[in-house]
Structures are given as C-alpha cells and as structure tokens.
Structure 1
Amino acid sequence: MPTPAGYARIPVPWIGAGSLSSFYETDILNDYKSFDGWEMLYNAFSSEASSIVNNPFFVLYNKYRGTMRIYLYITTPFVATSSYIQNGISVISAKETSILNFLGQPVLDAVAKDQKSYVQLQPAPIDGSMPLATNRWYMMEYELAYDQNLSSIPYNEIRFNWFLNYYSVSKIYLDGKMEGKLNAILGQGAVDHSNKMGNILQSDELKSIGTGILAGIGLNSLERNKISDAKDGQSNNKLGLKNGIFNALYNGVSSALKGSTSGLPGLIVGFVSGIVGGSSNKGINPPVNYQLMTTISLSGTSTNSGAFPSMPISFWLPGTENVINATGYVPLYNKILGVVNFKGKPEIKSHEQYYEYQGVDPEYGDYINEVHRIVFDTSKDYSPYLEFNPEVKAIADIHITNQEIVLYYNKEVLCRSLKTSYNNEKYTYWEEGVYTNHWNTDWANFNKYAGDVCVRFSIKIQPKNGAPVSHIIKTFKLKENRTSEELESMPNYLKPNYNDYNLEKDYHLILKPKK
C-alpha cells in the first residue's frame, strides 16, 4: 500500500501479514479488479504524507453490482479478547434516502419508511484465529440501493457513518435453535439510529433481537457450513437453517455459479435477495452474496466489548450536490451509487377459493380432500416499477431474465408456478389441504394465510467492456387485492394438474361435488 518514506510498508489486504485470508477465501480475496467494475471510492493511504495515518482505510465500490467494501488496517496497539466483530453503517442526515434499504431487508417494502442504519455481527475467522489483532486487515461489504434523489441533496447535509466494535457473546439462537457459534453474518436494519441489535449488544444482559437477516459472502460460506454426514432428523448445516432451505440454497448457488443462472430463483426456495457472478478470475468460483430472513436471539452477557481505534469514520456521499467542493474524505468516484430500486407498491389481484373433492385410496378407502387455495394474477408486468441507475445503463446492458410472483411467508417462498391446459395460461398459487372423512368443512377454522405477496426479479448486468455478467436477485412487496369464493367442486383449470401427477391412475381420484 502507498506509505510515506521512512515507514514500514503496509501489505495489501489480500496477501501477506495480517491479510484477510482469516475471514474470506480466494473468491472474495481476488475480487478487486477495475475491469470487473471496482472503483476507488475513498482512500486514506498516501506515499506523500509526512507521516503514516493511524488505522488507514480505503473503500472500493463495484458499479455493476452496487456493492461497497470498506478495508481498514489497524495500526494502533490494543489488547482485547472477543468472540465477534460488529460493524455498522448509517446515514447522518435529516433528508430521506433509500440508499441503505437493501441492507437487512431481503424483501423490500418500497413505500415503508427509509432505513437510516444497519448493524451486523460478523462470524469468527475461518482459520480459528482470534478476531482482534494489531497490524491486521478488516473488510466489510454493503449492498446499496439506487436513489436518484441524492443528486438534489447538498453534500454537507448528508454523510455516511461507519463503525467497528468487538463483543463476546456466549450463545446465539437462530429461529429458536441454539448454535454453538456464529457461522454467518447476522444483520438488522432500522429506520433510525437506535438499532435494536446494536443496543442489545451494548447492554449487560443479551436477549431477543427479533427478525433480522442471515447473510453470507462467497460460496465457501455455504460449503464450510454443510454437514455432509447428517443422519435423518439431524440438521445438515451449521447456519441454523431448515434442511430443505439449506439444500435449496446450496444447490441453487452451486448451480448458478456453474452457469445455470436462469434457474436460480426457482432453485432457491428462500433466496429472495443476492448477487451472483461478476469476477473475471479464472479457476475460482465467482463471488456471491445472499440474504435470508431469520429470528435472532442472543443469550448470556456481553463481555469484553469496545470500539476499534479511530471509530467512527464518516465521509461524504458521492453524487450529492456540489460534493466536489467538499473537504475531508471526498469521494474519488463521484456518481450516484447503487444499480436498481423499486418505486411504489403496485397492486396484484388474487382470488381465494375453498373446495372439497372425494377420492378413493386403494389401501385406505374413501377420503375427502379439503383445499384452501389462493390464485394470483400473473398477467401484469411489474418491470416498469424498477428504477435503474443511468450511470449503470451507460456502461452495461441490463436484462430482466425472470419475473415471478411469490408468496413470502414465515421466511420461506411458498408459491410455485405451473402450466395447465386450461386456456394455456400460467397460474401462481398458494395452497393448503387437509385429508378427512367428512364433508362440509368449517372454513373459518382453516389455517389463515398470512404472508407478503411479492414480485421477484432476476436482473442480468452485462458490462459493455466484456467483463463477466452479474446477476442481481431482488424481491419487492406488492399490495394484494383479493376476492373469495367457496366452490362446489375442483376448478376445471386445476384438473390437468392432478392428471399430470397421474393421481387418477394411482389413487382412483373421483371428482365429486359436495353432498
């Protein structure tokens, strides 16, 4: 790194003493080329200064992916023991901006109040070393949303604020399951600066934080947390995820990195937000990051907590009004950040149906299936609600490779799409069914659907300079307009679906009206 004459040279972050190899593997360590879209955003290193800057940092920004990475090198001697590192980023301003809305929100409500802060807890180093040390590099990554309004905000009325703390935490619960240690990033956003995760970590007694995100950077964040020899009934991962969700996530990401990105959203059940690809490094997995919802609870007491030296760090936002006239940490890349955003909360029509049908099982005899189904209208195109950064459109071709309606419920994507022979139309639906031996269900006692109807996009960013493609997956909430009816029999357009599964042959399915 650039260092004043007479001072020991500081090694680069990706190799040498104090490198980031304790935290990340080669898919992330080698991902910094300008050809792939990385720009120097801020830089505190200099070979012309009279003395070395304490705890210098620099910030890279990828203009094709909308991700910002902050690299910090600790030079101040300090002695502390801790199990985890906490970092956070916030916007200091009375103005509203959506630039942090992608952080901690895999499913985004575009009409909700904008986030002002985001805090995350990092996993321990992957090589078994302790997380705190002097003369060591640290790197944190943040995905930013495009906000066209930034250009009208005076530069001195808004700024980024970033900090790095350390904590010891004895127990971590994810979705009610205790994990021996944290193996992925835990994060939570807030509409103000009183972030719940940050406040609880600063208290003496740790407790429930509520809903947050489980995130990872790089395929190896999944690979090293896979339990290959798990037996039936045992967890197959160290992330606290349900087995089915982890399998779908792992297989989907692996398939995507091998080139099958067109099947990415369908393959990954709970994958609603992430970025795949974009690196030109040969023989190394392309970079990937992902976010999934989880319920976070910490237990025990917070001990040996404190702030890293020289914290916090603040800097002006690129693309704001007259920022070129600012002093201090002025952005070297002075364009509005982010790739995409979503405007408003458009309506989607849905139709709720209750019906029953009778069948005959060869082994168990007559049965009745009671079905509660919600069919969603998929005819509307929601892509006009996407807002793309014109700076990205000027340097890359943008294609929406997939758009689908999903029902996001209890941190899972429940809807699925199907083809039928009824008017050759495509339906997306949610369904629950109960097998019983009587007619006339009391529908009021049926489990009530409660979830967010969303549109999920897969967006292909093809750089015009020939750099590798990046795929951005984003999910946005819609406003549901629902009608309901109770039917006398199964809807006609669903019958071919059952025939596809050969139920008439295997189970002698008899469709009858209610008695």
Structure 2
Amino acid sequence: MLNAVMFTSCKKHFNSSITAEGKDGIQPFSFNWETVDWMPTPAVVGQSLINPPWIGQGSITSIYGIDVVNDHKASDGWVLVYNTFNPNSPGPLQNPYFILYNKYRGLMRIYFYVTSPISNNSDYLVDGLTASTTGTTSLLNFLGNDIVDVSQNQLSYSQIEPGPPDGSAPLATNKWYMLQYELAYDPNIANTNYNNIQLSWYTNYNSISKISLGGPLIGSVNGTVGSSTSNINSSLLNGVRVVTTAGLSLAGSSAVNNASGNFSGVNPIVGPDGRITAYTPTTMNNKLGLSNETFTALQKGLNSAFSAATGNIPGAVAGLLSAIIGGSSSAQTVSLTLNAKLQLDGTSASRGSFPASPTSVYVPGTIIDPIAAQGYIPLYANSLGIFNLSSKPIVNVNTTSIKVNQNGGTYYQYNNLYTVNTSSINYLWNSTVINSTSTGASIKNLKTEVVLIDPDLSANPVIGGNIGIIGTHTVITGSSVGTTYTVPRVQPRNNYVAVRITFDVVPNNGTTPKSTIIKTFLANLVNN
C-alpha cells in the first residue's frame, strides 16, 4: 500500500500553479522539471513522494543511457506541453504523466509513472500513438519509416519498447516509463479546430520469446521496434508473425555501440505450415537481432554521421536514412530509424492493457477555444514538427546507350545518370520554429542526395556513387548516382528511388547546440 506523506521538507518541490480562472479548459500545472527534487503531488493520504524520472527510485536509467536520461533541459529546446501532476489535486494521483517536446528536433517524450498495482507478469511494454481526426494528417508520417512516402499519410503507429538489461519485467508499480515519438510538421494543423483531431496513446503488455530483425532470432528486444501497418501487440496472438514494414528506432549515442559484441542466437527451421519447428544455434555481432552485415554498416554509418555533425560536414551520412543527431548540451545524442524485417516468436499468455489506457490529448497548434474545451489544454500552443514536404520529390534519370562488341557478340551499354530535381522539392518549414526571432532557429548546410534503392546488381553494373547496406536495403547514394549496364538486350529496371535531405537546425540564441536532421523521402523517377 502507498504511504501517506506530508510535504514539510524545505527541498525544492514545485513552482506556482497556472490556473484557468473562469474557463472550462484546464491549464496544466506548470513546474520546473529540471530542478525539482520531487514531482508536484498533493499532500493527501495515499500519496507518496515521487522522484523525477531521471533520478532516484523507479527512474528510467535502467533502460536508457545516461545521455538520453540527462537530455531534458529547457536550454536545449525542451518545453512542457502537458502535465497531470498537481499539488492541488483533491486526492492521490493515478498513473500521472507529463509530456516534453523538443522544438528544435521535433521529438515528443511522454513520461508516465505507474501507481496502479501490476498483477500480470510481462516481458515487454507495447505502446502506440494514433491521430484521431475527421480528416487526415501527416503528423505521424515520420514514425517507424526511414523512407517516407508523403503521398500516404499514416494515422497510427505501434512499437515494442526495450526492457531493462537485467531481464526483469518492464511493467511494475512505482516506476517511470518513457515513450518517444518523432513528429512531422503538418501546416494544416494551424487551421484545424481542436475538436477535429486528437492524439491518443496506449500502453499494453505482452510476452515475446524471440525476435529477429533480419538476422538470427534472439531472446530479448534491445531497441524500440515499431510498425505503422501492423498492430504489434495483436500480431503475437498467432505466434510467429512477420511485419515487413517494421522500423528499429534507437535513442542515445551509446545505443549502437553497447549492442556490439559476441552474442548467441538461433536460426529457425520452418515447417510446411510456416511455423517454426526447431532452432539451430548461431552467433552474431550484435544483440539487436540485425544481421551481422547490417549491424556493421549501421555502426559505420552512425560514426560517420557523428563526425559529420561535429565537424560541420553536411551530407556525410552514409549508412543512415533517418536520424536526428546532437542538440544536447550534456552529450551528443541520436534518435535514428532503420528499416527491418521483423519476426516475432511470442505468446499471448499475459497480453493485456495498461491501466487507464488509452489516453488522449488535444493537438498543440490547433485552434483551441479555452472556454468550450473540456479537460487539459496544451501549455505549448505552437504546431509540432520541424519540416515536411508537400509532395514527392523528383529524381531525373538520363539514359544513353551504344552498341559494343563483347565476348564475340553485340551488346548494349546503357549509361544511366540519376540526379535530384531540386526545383521539385517543396519544403514545408514550421515558421513557429524556423524564423529570425531569438527563440527561433535557422536552417543551414541543406543538402540533397539521390538514393537508388535495391538496384539490380545481377548484371554486374559499373557503379557511380557510394554503395552500401542500410537495414534491409542495398542502396547507392550520392549527389548524383550512375549505373552502367552492358547486357545482350534490355537493361534491368531500377525504379525505386528516394531523396535524402540533410540539414542543421541552428538555434538563433547562440547557446543551444545545433541538431543535424537526416530524412529520406520516396521520389518519382522521371526520364529526361
């Protein structure tokens, strides 16, 4: 049972409350999350003192690296959006939460504290985010995708969270949890009535025996794995399930390096009905479930991106298609997404919903009537996200061919040059962030590159560009990309192309560190 606590200490506790006098909409209690020793809770029977998420009992340090734990400073761009902690509450708080958002990185973090008793054993926390709207929105398009198709809006996303390194059950009472989501800028939000769109998230628990992300099956989830096309929680009902559009998300500069080593796994033996009948042991160089080749490429790509971000070298991001690097004064941090082929071997014995789930809130930046609105209204009133594209970019391909004599016969040599049509890229910048004010930021070192995805290599083409492995894809990248095929007849078609956009977000205040954003968009291919 929770203990009753009276607040008689002289320690820092909270700032003065912000109220909504004469209004139906509730302005959340505002507090300084950086300096409090205890969260703002009421002095009532049944309410215990609660440490902030980054220190003390139940902190998130058991799951995330210290760089992520300490990355919450207002000076680095974090703002308080919602909060259900309140010292003036008439009774004990039930599973309270607060939401921080980084306006220079487009990252939203939900920190919630469990007060409800957890009676079921669980292996992993499964959470999801949904945009409930009368129309559509691109707000969630960046989630789980390292190649974004701007012509297809996604309205829901689910993911599996990593558990503590010691293998203990992740769901427990009197414990903090953090959910992170990368949001895209949707300019239509500013013209949308608050009643026409809400953000809701849920938290469930489930059991997972083994997981693979394109490599051998392993016994634990060590990164956040998400999908916009499949509810991961329900996919475990039937045992083995493959989610081809899954994305692996990693938070923290140590997330990749700490996954390196020699680890044991198994390769599945699949029966005629598609189910696993047995396993054969194997070893791997990472504990993420990636293939050895994919993980090695990821390591190299992340290291080059860190060097580029530190040395102000735009575009040197081989090995990554989607990432946010830097932006923290405490340590260089990263949030990245990698495409993967997800295979889960699980059970549904302890599958269920988390207490008080789902939870919904109004979307910041919408037109909110503080008198008519019910419940909490956001403390941060600006639109979320840094940027987006209004339409698919275009990659031009110029193809020439000549006849050549080879191997005693006549062949055709096809020379292809792929270039970005820069005039086709219609940027949508969030003007509440990208502006000339002291609290705004500027875009610097903007660069675009061609990404030729899964080219046909069977005819041994001559490659012009950087070829490598990114997740499940073989890619050729560069400011321009070339392929030369010498074949008896028609050359193989390579129509799967994208544009990788890299830029720095540099705050105008001169003190907040810059962030480097890498985002790749599916493109239309046009012959010219």
* Smaller-chain TM-score bracket: 0.7 to 0.9
Residues 134-213 of structure 1: pairs in structure 2 closer than 5 A: 134-175=173-214, 177-190=216-229, 195-201=230-236, 203-213=237-247
Paired residues, what number? 448
Question: Could you report, residue by residue, the CA deviation over 1:189-235 in whole angstroms, capped at 9, with x for unpaired residues?
Answer: 14xxxx4434313x2434222221111111221112112699xx964
Q: Are 1:336 and 2:383 an aligned pair?
A: yes
Question: Could you report, residue by residue, the CA deviation over 1:412-453 in whole angstroms, capped at 9, with x for unpaired residues?
Answer: 352243xxxxxxxx74124567xxxxxxx4435x654352x1
Q: Are 1:268 and 2:308 an aligned pair?
A: no
2:332 partner amino acid? P
Output the CA distance in 2 between the equivalents of 1:368 and 1:136: 71
Q: Which shows bigger deviation, 366-375 or 300-309?
A: 366-375
The 8 Å contact of residues 406 and 413 in structure 1, kept in 2 or not, is answered as no
1:12–1:458 CA distance, 2 compared to 1 (3 A): same
Q: Out of 296, 317, 321, which is 2:342 matched to?
A: 296
The 8 Å contact of residues 249 and 268 in structure 1, kept in 2 or not, is answered as no
- TM-score (structure 2 length as normaliser): 0.78
The 8 Å contact of residues 131 and 198 in structure 2, kept in 1 or not, is answered as yes
Any idea what SS the aligned residue of 1:480 has? Answer: strand
Residues 454-493 of structure 1: pairs in structure 2 closer than 5 A: 454-465=498-509, 466-482=511-527
2:124 equivalent in structure 1:
84
Any idea what SS the aligned residue of 2:58 has? Answer: coil
Any idea what SS the aligned residue of 1:107 has? Answer: coil
Output the CA distance in 2 between the equivalents of 1:455 and 1:405: 5
The 8 Å contact of residues 412 and 488 in structure 2, kept in 1 or not, is answered as no
Question: Could you report, residue by residue, the CA deviation over 1:102-154 in whole angstroms, capped at 9, with x for unpaired residues?
Answer: 00221111122x11100001122124332121000000100000011012211
1:512 equivalent in structure 2:
none
1:493 equivalent in structure 2:
none
- Distance apart, 1:482 and its partner CA: 3.0
2:355 partner amino acid? P
The 8 Å contact of residues 184 and 215 in structure 1, kept in 2 or not, is answered as yes
- Distance apart, 1:371 and its partner CA: 6.4
Q: Out of 376, 385, 391, which is 2:418 matched to?
A: 376
Any idea what SS the aligned residue of 2:128 has? Answer: strand
Output the CA distance in 2 between the equivalents of 1:474 and 1:413: 17
2:297 equivalent in structure 1:
248
1:32 equivalent in structure 2:
72
Question: Could you report, residue by residue, the CA deviation over 1:362-395 in whole angstroms, capped at 9, with x for unpaired residues?
Answer: xxxx9999866532134x3258511110011130
Question: Could you report, residue by residue, the CA deviation over 1:460-514 in whole angstroms, capped at 9, with x for unpaired residues?
Answer: 011112200001101112211236xxxxxxxxxxxxxxxxxxxxxxxxxxxxxxx
- Distance apart, 1:236 and its partner CA: 2.5
Any idea what SS the aligned residue of 1:39 has? Answer: strand
1:144–1:300 CA distance, 2 compared to 1 (3 A): closer
The 8 Å contact of residues 241 and 343 in structure 2, kept in 1 or not, is answered as yes
1:407 equivalent in structure 2:
452
2:271 equivalent in structure 1:
none
2:524 partner amino acid? K
Q: Which shows bigger deviation, 380-389 or 12-21?
A: 380-389
1:432–1:328 CA distance, 2 compared to 1 (3 A): farther
2:519 partner amino acid? K
Residues 46-445 of structure 1: pairs in structure 2 closer than 5 A: 46-112=86-152, 114-175=153-214, 177-190=216-229, 195-201=230-236, 203-227=237-261, 235-258=284-307, 259-260=309-310, 262=312, 265-269=315-319, 271-281=320-330, 285-325=331-371, 326-352=373-399, 374-378=416-420, 380-382=421-423, 384-394=425-435, 395-409=440-454, 411-412=472-473, 414-417=475-478, 427-430=480-483, 441-444=487-490
The 8 Å contact of residues 173 and 296 in structure 1, kept in 2 or not, is answered as yes
Output the CA distance in 2 between the equivalents of 1:260 and 1:369: 48
Percent identity of the aligned residues? Answer: 35
Unaligned runs of 5+ in 1: 361-365, 418-425, 434-440, 484-515
1:250–1:176 CA distance, 2 compared to 1 (3 A): closer
Unaligned runs of 5+ in 2: 1-38, 265-281, 455-470
- TM-score (structure 1 length as normaliser): 0.80
1:448–1:383 CA distance, 2 compared to 1 (3 A): closer
1:335 partner amino acid? N
1:244–1:304 CA distance, 2 compared to 1 (3 A): same
The 8 Å contact of residues 122 and 184 in structure 1, kept in 2 or not, is answered as yes
1:185 partner amino acid? T
Output the CA distance in 2 between the equivalents of 1:63 and 1:263: 23
1:503 equivalent in structure 2:
none
1:373–1:138 CA distance, 2 compared to 1 (3 A): farther
